[in-house]
Amino acid sequence: MQSIVSEDIVQFARTVGPATDSVIEEMDAYADEIDFPTVGSEVGGWLALLTRISGAESVFEFGSGFGYSAYWFARSLPDDGELVLTDLDPEKLDRARKYLDRGGYLDQVTLEAGDAIETVEHYDGPFDIVLIDNEKDRYCEAFEAVREKVPSGGLIITDNAMMSSYVYFEDLLALATGQEVDTHENTRGVSEYLETVTNDPAFETVVLPLGEGVAVSHKQ
């Protein structure tokens, strides 16, 4: 995984940050083995903390991979909480199911294979927390699909707010300061999303410079 901050800071945040468990350690090892980008424990700890302090009872994920972020959310949901995972690849969801089962969280979980933006249309909500981590050029589409399903006090958390594959921080910075640049559609998708959510009067947004950048938007 790339990081917007130095490796020393990442290591420090992981060392003094949240306690992991054997399942998380196995997921970390698997991600390293296949070179799969997860949020890492330094961001995972924030996901768990935000879930706990907001009193969230329901989470919807646009893009779940093999369940890494979902596992961190599940650690702080109540026993009767709801967690919806989505991914285009059913094999990744099968692996997510196994990890969540081993953690004792499977009763909270619904796994949906397919397009997340189409999937969320089948849910009325409300969702106290939404994670947006699908195709970067569709971030705005995901936001519009779920905006009204987030209650007052709810959170929209967006990964890759500062970098990712073909999301270039230098170009994001230029676009944020009003410059016009020729850049990849992924970069432009993240830029348009950040402009949309920060200009939405219903949300207050901050960016955490950890991992590949995490935008946290609180609905007023």
Tell me the domain boundaries of the chain: 7-219
Supply the pLDDT for residue 119: 98
Find the mean pLDDT for residues 184-194: 98
DSSP characters for 194-210? HHHHHT-TTEEEEEE-S
pLDDT given for residue 179 in this prediction:
96
Query: 171 near 183, Cβ under 8 Å?
Result: yes
Residue 110, phi then psi, degrees to nearest 5: -120, 130
pLDDT, averaged across the chain: 96
Q: What is the pTM of this model?
A: 0.96
Cα–Cα distance for residue pair 176/142, rounded to 1 Å: 21
Is the domain defined by 7-219 classed in CATH 3.40.50.150?
Answer: yes
Region 163-172: mean pLDDT is: 95
Q: Is the pLDDT of residue 142 over 90?
A: yes
Q: How deeply is 107 buried, as exposed, middle or buried, from its count of CB atoms within 10 A (0-12, 13-18, 19+)?
A: exposed
% of the chain at pLDDT higher than 90? 92
Q: What is the mean pLDDT of residues 168-197?
A: 97
pLDDT tops 80 at residue 2: no
Q: Which among 1-5, 55-59, 163-167 has the top mean pLDDT? A: 55-59
The pLDDT of residue 1 is 61
Average pLDDT score over residue span 28-55: 96
